[in-house]
């Protein structure tokens, strides 16, 4: 039935009115959009003008007499510091030539035992290193006294807790770095060192030892280091024996936590990057991890990067820069201290370890992750090379670069590595997309680290060396003994 012409005309009028209203709304929206675009263009022009003005002002400042004076003063300060460090090195070398290495008779005649000084209950790298040494002594059935130090770190580890203020044994093992030796000498007093043989267990991340720390050798009779990389550095100018005494690392026992405990997604392959912000972001280099992850080009549900860090309050600006660099990527930030079971669980529920550091004194987190059977990607440089090879891990090469300014204890003019993010990205893609590779590499890495960092081996090395010292043989072949040379202490 055909509609009434009047009704049809009314319907058409209503449709026309609706279209007119819609067209008007679209015109208004377009006008708003155009105004917004014009405002954005104006803001952009203003920003460019501001940037040009700032650039001109910066250039003017740099060209000013004041700026030239400040640069000149910086150069003078650097030269003065370098000269002062050379003088100290020369003075330390003179004292070293005059030093006669002996074992006190009281040490040779006493029952074997060690007074261990360190951050024994601290939840930190140095704290865990101290506990590794204590476990080795315990395994070797060498008695020890726990001379704990209260540091700035959280002190919730109760592995060893029977602390003592006395030092009843003939050996001191001080698990502090060279820059703290003067401080601990003042804290403990001369009596702590008298008629004892003192061993410093030192960590250092760079190829060269700081000349202004050479005086630390005067506080010790011997130095132990965890890696061959550090041994070569410290021994270069050492007036005392320097021995490579690897840390014995036990396989971590995963805590009863899954991904949900840490707020992590279930599906994707997760790379774990662990660092302490207070240990210098430039050295730990998490920015390279973000660049590598971006270059890898993973789909959102394919892989994630987890940045687990502590002490973010020490450098909030750098943490913000990391967040900005990670924009648009599936990068998860997890800040704060965890209990030891949580740390172990986090390593266990993630799929791979990533560390694009510029220098490591050891790399304990990498070793622990590998002991859990997880594949590791890390910089092919420094301490971790003691237990990482191309056959059991993925190593990232990069040029050596010179520091152009100080970064904490790492001074201008020193050298460290600059790992290539594109090479790291290729390794990351291989682990995620090559079926079975992660499991195969993880298994080989676990077996290798279990052998190289076997706690039983460390226990035997420590006990043998202590007995060798008590017998009066503190040097072998006229040089400080090292694992790479024939040495009865390591056979």
Half-sphere exposure of 154 (CA within 13 A, CB side): 10
- Dist. CA 383–CA 203, nearest whole Å: 10
pLDDT above 80: residue 404: yes
Model pLDDT, residue 488: 33
pLDDT above 50: residue 331: yes
pLDDT tens digit sequence for 155-191: 888 899 999 999 999 999 999 999 999 999 999 999 9
pLDDT band for position 154 (50/70/90)?
confident
Model pLDDT, residue 101: 87
Contact 67, 434 (CB under 8 A): no
Average pLDDT rounded to a whole number, residues 82-90: 61
- Dist. CA 111–CA 115, nearest whole Å: 13
- Dist. CA 222–CA 173, nearest whole Å: 10
- What percent of the chain stands above pLDDT 70? 81
pLDDT tens digit sequence for 384-402: 999 999 999 999 999 999 9
- Dist. CA 167–CA 146, nearest whole Å: 9
Average pLDDT rounded to a whole number, residues 439-449: 98
Model pLDDT, residue 124: 86
Model pLDDT, residue 485: 35
- Dist. CA 357–CA 489, nearest whole Å: 33
Please give the residue that has the higher pLDDT: either 290 or 486. 290
- What percent of the chain stands above pLDDT 90? 71
Question: Domains of the chain, with CATH numbers?
Answer: 99-248+455-490 (3.40.50.11930), 259-452 (3.40.50.2000)
Model pLDDT, residue 14: 83
Q: What are phi and psi of 124, to 5 degrees?
A: -155, 170
pLDDT band for position 42 (50/70/90)?
low
Average pLDDT rounded to a whole number, residues 23-34: 64
Contact 194, 218 (CB under 8 A): no
Angle in degrees, 0-180, between the axes of helices 125-139 and 455-470, rounded to the nearest 10:
70
Model pLDDT, residue 12: 77
pLDDT above 80: residue 84: no
**Number of residues in the chain:** 491
pLDDT band for position 237 (50/70/90)?
confident
Mean pLDDT of the chain, nearest integer: 87
Half-sphere exposure of 56 (CA within 13 A, CB side): 6
- Dist. CA 406–CA 402, nearest whole Å: 11
Q: What are phi and psi of 472, to 5 degrees?
A: 95, 0
Model pLDDT, residue 362: 95
CA angle 198, 201, 203 (to 5 degrees): 150
Contact 103, 132 (CB under 8 A): no
Please give the residue that has the higher pLDDT: either 29 or 385. 385
Model pLDDT, residue 75: 56
pLDDT band for position 117 (50/70/90)?
very high
**Beta pairing class for 269-276 and 352-355:** parallel
pLDDT above 80: residue 85: no
Residue 143 vs residues 137, 271, 469: alpha-carbon distances, Å: 7, 41, 16
- Dist. CA 417–CA 403, nearest whole Å: 10
pLDDT above 70: residue 31: no
Average pLDDT rounded to a whole number, residues 104-121: 97
Torsion of CA 376, 380, 381, 383, to 10 degrees: 30
Q: Note the pTM of the prediction, 2 decimals.
A: 0.79
pLDDT above 80: residue 11: no
């Amino acid at each position: 039935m055909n509609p009434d012409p009047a009704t049809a005309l009314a319907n058409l009028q209503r449709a026309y009115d609706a279209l007119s209203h819609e067209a008007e709304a679209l015109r208004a929206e377009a006008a708003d959009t155009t105004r917004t675009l014009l405002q954005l263009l104006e803001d952009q022009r203003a920003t460019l003008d501001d940037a040009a003005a700032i650039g001109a002002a910066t250039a003017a400042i740099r060209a000013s007499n004041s700026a030239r004076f400040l640069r000149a003063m910086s150069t003078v300060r650097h030269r003065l510091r370098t000269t002062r460090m050379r003088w100290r090195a020369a003075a330390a070398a003179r004292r070293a030539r005059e030093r006669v290495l002996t074992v006190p008779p009281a040490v040779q005649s006493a029952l074997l035992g060690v007074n261990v000084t360190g951050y024994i209950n601290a939840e930190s790298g140095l704290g865990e290193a101290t506990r590794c040494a204590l476990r080795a002594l315990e395994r070797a059935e060498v008695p020890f006294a726990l001379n704990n130090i209260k540091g700035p770190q959280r002190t919730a580890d109760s592995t060893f807790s029977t602390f003592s203020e006395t030092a009843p044994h003939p050996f001191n093992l001080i698990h502090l770095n060279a820059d703290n030796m003067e401080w601990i000498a003042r804290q403990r007093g001369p009596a702590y060192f008298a008629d004892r043989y003192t061993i410093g267990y030192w960590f250092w991340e760079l190829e060269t030892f700081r000349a202004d720390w050479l005086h630390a050798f005067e506080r010790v009779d011997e130095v132990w280091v965890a890696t061959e990389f550090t041994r070569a550095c410290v021994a270069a100018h050492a007036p005392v024996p320097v021995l490579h005494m690897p840390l014995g690392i036990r396989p971590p026992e995963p805590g009863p936590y899954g991904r949900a405990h840490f707020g992590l997604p279930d599906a994707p392959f997760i790379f774990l990057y662990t660092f302490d912000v207070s240990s210098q972001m430039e050295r730990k280099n998490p920015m390279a991890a973000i660049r590598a992850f971006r270059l890898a080009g993973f789909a959102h549900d394919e892989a994630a990067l987890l940045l687990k860090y502590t002490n973010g309050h020490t450098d909030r600006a750098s943490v913000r820069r990391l967040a900005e660099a990670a924009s648009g990527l599936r990068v998860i930030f997890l800040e704060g201290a965890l209990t030891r079971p949580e740390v172990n669980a986090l390593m266990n529920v993630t799929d791979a370890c990533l560390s694009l550091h510029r220098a490591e004194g050891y790399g304990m987190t990498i070793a622990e992750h590998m002991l859990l059977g997880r594949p590791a990607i890390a910089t092919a440089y420094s301490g971790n090379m003691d237990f990482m090879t191309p056959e059991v891990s993925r190593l990232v090469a990069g040029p050596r670069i010179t520091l152009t300014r100080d970064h904490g204890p790492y001074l201008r003019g020193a050298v460290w590595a600059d790992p290539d993010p594109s090479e790291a990205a290729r390794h990351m893609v291989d682990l995620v997309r090559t079926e079975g590779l992660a499991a195969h590499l993880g298994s080989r890495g676990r077996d290798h680290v279990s052998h190289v960092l076997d706690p039983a081996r460390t226990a035997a090395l420590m006990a043998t060396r202590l007995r060798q010292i008590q017998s009066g043989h503190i040097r072998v072949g006229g040089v400080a003994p090292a694992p790479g040379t024939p040495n009865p202490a390591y056979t």
